[in-house]
Amino acid sequence: MSASPLAGKRVVLGVTGGIAAYKAIEILRRLVDAGAHVVPIMTDAAQHFVGATTLSALASEPVQTKLWNNPTTAIPHTKVGQGADLIIVAPATAKSIAAYRMGYSHDLLQNTLIATRAPVVLCPAMHTEMWEHPSVVDNVATLRKRGVQIVEPEYGRLAGGDTGAGRLADPATILDIAERVVGPADLTGVRVVVSAGGTREPIDAVRVIANRSSGKQGYAVATEAVARGAEVTLVSTVGLPTPAGVQVIAVESAAEMQEAMERAAINHDVIVMAAAVADFRPVHAASGKIKKGDGVPEIVLQQTPDILAGIGARKRNDHVLVGFAAETANLVDNAKEKLERKRLDLIVANDVSASGVGFAHDTNAVTLLRPDAKPVEIDLATKREVARAIINAVVDIRNAR
């Protein structure tokens, strides 16, 4: 299993004095879990909101807070900045953003930011009025022009109980962007469309025929693709959080999925059909609710179109077409048959009856099959790790051409 792009990287995590400082603990944990060597720096104000002991216990090194009298080096601002592969500031307050823009090196974090050539990811968090103030808007725009990666704050409930833009981005989003910054940009300029979730076929105005697909694996594939530089469109039936940088097209039924995917296939280079599309739908759907008192209804079913086979029949030579096979028996044989019949370049097969695999789980175990290569088994892993293996295979296929 390929590791996260953050594995082995030296990441400085700067924490400034905002109420969202408590979320830095979760960001730190995710960075360490990804294999990064994390060096935390806290401003004096940050220590009013979260304890240095907590971050020290979770990080790779003890928290650094002082520009002077540092036991590790006489010039911490230079050494820390020079040794970093990436610097993340989360949360970044209005004050810290202004100081960074001006080059006002009054504390260890600001000195480190000025003394580094590493990429910087800035994660603002503040009240809406502050975030929208012209001075903050101007400071952020200037830093963005200088190449600083800005993780836009989210809309939501803020510290004072009010609601608006300014909430610190979700830690998962921050990690995704950090991986994108340090990771391989091997899909730059490539257009990728991914389908996700299970379709719902109406019986009446209330009831549907559906399946157990959560859409998590498709979203993980979309997240990995955009992290590798791709322009990603996600055709989805579920309401999971949208990965940063991904365009979502919401659909519900197999017919809507077919229309969206066939339209997208025309101008995308990689097509990943991760959605669980219903094989059958009612011939007729009642416009209102079927009442129980009217007796048991007779529901006549018809087959839905095979979206992936249709795209495969018309695919260009430069297309990479990826399908999924959720099976409960004869995994490899069934997957090979679909691989050939649907003219796929790659199929991802999983046994959804196995423990921790497939629908609704955060983990998956799959077998990757290609027409001219030996099957590759991916043991139980997170769906993001499985997505990384899928995108690695897609990159290999493209490079081989």
Q: Please check whether residue 345 is in contact with residue 398, taking contact to mean a CB–CB distance below 8 angstroms.
A: no
Query: What residues contact residue 382 under an 8 Å CB cut-off, 6+ apart?
Result: 220, 362, 363, 364
**What are the structure tokens assigned to 41, written together?**
């720096």
Please, what is the angle between helix 134-145 and helix 94-102, to 10°?
Answer: 50
Smallest Cα–Cα separation from 109: which of 127, 125, 94, 97? 97
* Contact (CB, 8 A) for 344 and 312: yes
C-alpha 232, offset from chain centre: 11
User: How many CB atoms within 10 Å of residue 280?
Assistant: 14
Chain centroid to CA 369:
24
Per annotation, catalytic residue among 111, 139, 211, 317: 211
Rounded Cα distance between 379 and 364, Å, is: 8
Whole-angstrom distance, CA of residue 243 vs CA of residue 120: 20
Give the separation between CA 347 and CA 265, rounded to whole angstroms. 17
Q: Cβ(37)–Cβ(60) under 8 Å?
A: yes
One-character DSSP codes across 89-154:
EEEE-HHHHHHHHHT---SHHHHHHHT--S-EEEEE---HHHHTSHHHHHHHHHHHHTTPEE-PPE
**Is the torsion defined by CA of 371, 373, 378, 384 positive or negative?**
negative
Q: Output the six-digit token pair for 123.
A: 């994660």
Would you call 211 a catalytic residue per the annotation?
yes
With CA atoms as reference, report the closest residue to 189 among 221, 161, 230, 158: 230
Q: Where are the alpha helices (DSSP H) in 237-342?
A: 254-267, 307-313, 331-341
Catalytic residues: 211
